[in-house]
Chain A
Amino acid sequence: MKCSDFRKLIDGDVDDAKNREALDHLESCMGCASEVAATRQLKRSLTRMFEAETAPESLRAAVHDSVRAGGNLRMAPTGGVRRWVVPLGMAAAVAFVWLVAPLLFDRAPDSTAVVQARWVSSVAERHGGCTLRGAAHHRANLPRDAGSVRVTLGAELRLDVLVPDLVADGFRFHSADACGIGDARGAHIVYQRISDGRFLSIFTVPRMDGLRAEPGGGSLRRSYFRGVAARGAGVVAWHKNAATYVLCGISTTEQLIELAETIE
């Protein structure tokens, strides 16, 4: 493979054969290896800079209201356009929103399904964000063996942190930190599949009873919460004592439940 061909592949979509060719090229070409490292650093920097930016509550409420009104635009307090709309039309729209819509749409905006979907999204975002950091995800003052991580993070978080040995299942320990999910502080242990380098996250967070877990799916007949985030990341969670354990990775929820059964 020539450098010109390699450059077209950087962080792109490559099949296994191309991937092997690219790896071979990387081993022999310092220039391309350096460019790959710099490109990944750029990606990490951009992600870190912008990922904390979230929609303000006023906008979130305005979007909810607009959709709730069946697609009639209702501007957020900061909104700047459509102020020219004919007042009579606005009055009619407002009358519809306040008088008719409540009769048609009776569910609260934050239904359980929405909250759970957001939660799945948070899990997947944390999984994606932390694995993107590679080895830097591992907190500097944490030991690197699973047993010690369990003790250290467990004492810090006052949780029974799940750090299983998954070598027999084809995963090796990769990194750990007290990242948690959303606002819930907890342990985030990352494993890497030995065969293809893909990542698996195991979170331990304070028990989240709001998650609607459903029975079945494994021999232990434990109740599992299942979800699939964007890009096909499976999410499976279950409660045990004071903790909720969460698995997330590019696998089906059935495969994750199978793994959860093995872990227990």
Chain B
Amino acid sequence: MTSSPAGDRFDEHVLVHLDSVYRMARRLARDESEADDLVQETYVRAFRAFPRFEMREYGVKPWLLKILHNAFYTRRGKAKRQPSLLNDVDFDRFAAGDDRAASEPGGIDNIDWNGIDEQLKHAVDALQPEYRVVLLLWSFEDMSYKEIAEVCGCAVGTVMSRLYRARRLLADKLADYARAENVPRKPDR
């Protein structure tokens, strides 16, 4: 793309992640036009910052997605950036079982996953952006907690909390759908 060594490195290491950046932008922006703008803004910022980028522990993709994440929140305004602290810090309570257990009605393991793609997509889109980001980085980007924390600029514990909360919220939404549509529950094992 460019004839400089830095340009070659940019092509090789950064442009190859365009589809990942686009997928995440689509899920964040919800509107195709805004997603396109976000992708371009991300790449322009990345290109300008690339001479200072060092291939550290996490590599290019988390760095690029972090730029996207920051660009998205710059547009939205920082006031809307974080879920409430209350939601973030209660992972220990969830994990300790004070919250409803997963195997109880409405829990994630009671869902029959066949034929509910559309409902799942709607449930993902209905999540707060911070939960959506963590969930999607964990699932289709297959990132570790540490990498997700790097992208979101938060602690690993916060990632775990948000991921747990996101899964629970999805389970609730899908359970609501199942009740509304009278979908039979997954057969008992």
Contacts and interface: CB of A to CB of B under 8 A. Distances in A.
Instruction: Determine if chain A interacts with chain B.
Output: yes
Interface of A: 3-5, 7-8, 11-13, 31, 34-35, 37-39, 41-43, 45-51, 53-55, 59-60, 62-64, 66-68, 70-76, 78-82, 104-107, 109, 111, 113-114, 117-118, 120-121, 128, 132, 230-231
B contact patch SS: helix
Contacts of A67: 1-2, 10, 15, 43-44, 47
Given A42-B108, A118-B16, A35 B164 contact: no
Given A7-B95, A42-B139, A63 B1 contact: no
B37 A43 contact: no
B188 to A, nearest CB: 11
Contact of B15 (A63, A72, A79): A63
Contacts, number: 178
A11 B138 contact: yes
Contacts of A79: 33, 36-37, 40
Q: Counting chain A CB atoms within 10 Å of each CB, which of B95, B121, B189 scores highest? A: B95
A9 to B, nearest CB: 9
Interface residues of B, number: 66
Contacts of A3: 97
Contact of B12 (A35, A114, A132): A114
B73 to A, nearest CB: 15
B8 to A, nearest CB: 6
16 contacts: A4-B97, A7-B164, A34-B189, A42-B139, A43-B138, A53-B26, A54-B19, A59-B40, A64-B15, A79-B40, A81-B37, A107-B3, A111-B11, A114-B15, A230-B17, A230-B60
Contact of B160 (A12, A71, A230): A12
Interface of B: 1-3, 7-8, 10-13, 15-19, 21-23, 26-27, 32-34, 36-37, 39-41, 43-44, 47-48, 59-61, 91-92, 94-97, 101-103, 107-109, 111, 113, 117, 120-121, 124, 135-136, 138-140, 142, 144-146, 160, 164, 167, 170, 189
A75 to B, nearest CB: 7
Contacts of B18: 55, 60, 63
A12 B37 contact: no
A66 to B, nearest CB: 5
Contacts of A128: 142
A132 B142 contact: yes
A41 B108 CA distance: 10
Contact of A71 (B15, B44, B61, B136): B44
A250 B41 CA distance: 33
B51 to A, nearest CB: 11
B60 to A, nearest CB: 7
A72 B40 CA distance: 10
Given A34-B102, A230-B17, 13 more contacts: A42-B108, A42-B113, A45-B120, A46-B136, A62-B36, A66-B47, A67-B15, A71-B47, A72-B44, A73-B40, A104-B2, A105-B3, A120-B16
Given A45-B120, A73-B40, A114 B11 contact: yes
A12 B145 contact: yes
Contacts of A55: 18-19, 21-22, 39
B124 A46 contact: yes
A50 B113 CA distance: 16
